[in-house]
């Protein structure tokens, strides 16, 4: 059975900043078992994240979107160019709320990112994933992402890469 089509709309930070923080913090819980790394010891993490998100949204319009199913926001994607090579896209966040995971919606997020990066002229994209987040790792590998191994500067996470051919999947 096909999942209902989702809509991808630019994040409205004025109205949805608390939701953005909630989603990002939950992504840390899924990846590392705790949101402490997100919030930081001094408690500055949420505000720093919102400043970073504003900058990303200004620099590359439509790069940070909420995922809508009808009238409900069920997820978020944050995309940019990889800092080491602007011809490579970079996914900072693929996120679905827990009740929508495992129902085929993730593939639509992956396809949205592929089309977005292709529109920027990118031939591939990268992302980070914690290998302890087995559900995410399994999803990425199933959908054509290749595990490039541990990040040198952050061994708790792995780089994954997906190449895009002429026909984005």
| Residues 108-121 pLDDT 10s | 999 999 999 999 99
Q: What is the pLDDT of residues 34-71, one digit of tens each?
A: 999 999 999 999 999 999 999 999 999 999 999 999 99
Our CA angle for 1, 135, 123, nearest 5°, is: 80
Contact 131, 158 (CB under 8 A): yes
* Contact present, 92 and 55 (Cβ < 8 Å): no
Q: How many CB atoms lie within 10 A of CB 109?
A: 23
Instruction: Tell the residue number behind the tokens 């999803």, with chain if given.
Output: 139
Q: What is the CATH number of domain 7-163?
A: 3.40.630.30
What are 26's two structure tokens? 């939950």
- Cut 0.85: pTM above it: yes
Beta-carbon contacts of 7 under 8 Å, excluding residues fewer than 6 positions away, are: 67, 68, 69
């Amino acid at each position: 059975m096909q999942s209902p089509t989702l809509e991808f709309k630019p994040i409205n930070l004025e109205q949805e900043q608390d939701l953005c923080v909630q989603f990002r913090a939950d992504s840390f819980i899924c990846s590392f078992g705790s949101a402490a790394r997100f919030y930081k010891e001094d408690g500055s993490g949420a505000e720093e994240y919102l400043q970073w998100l504003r900058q990303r949204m200004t620099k590359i319009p439509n790069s940070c979107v909420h995922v809508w199913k009808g009238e409900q926001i069920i997820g978020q994607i944050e995309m940019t160019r990889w800092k080491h090579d602007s011809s490579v896209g970079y996914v900072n966040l693929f996120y679905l709320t827990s009740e929508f995971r495992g129902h085929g919606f993730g593939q639509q997020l992956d396809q949205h990112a592929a089309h977005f990066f292709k529109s920027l002229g990118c031939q591939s994209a990268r992302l980070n994933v914690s290998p302890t987040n087995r559900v995410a790792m399994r999803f990425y590998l199933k959908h054509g992402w290749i595990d490039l191994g541990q990040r040198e500067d952050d061994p708790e996470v792995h780089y994954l890469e997906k190449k895009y051919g002429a026909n984005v999947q």
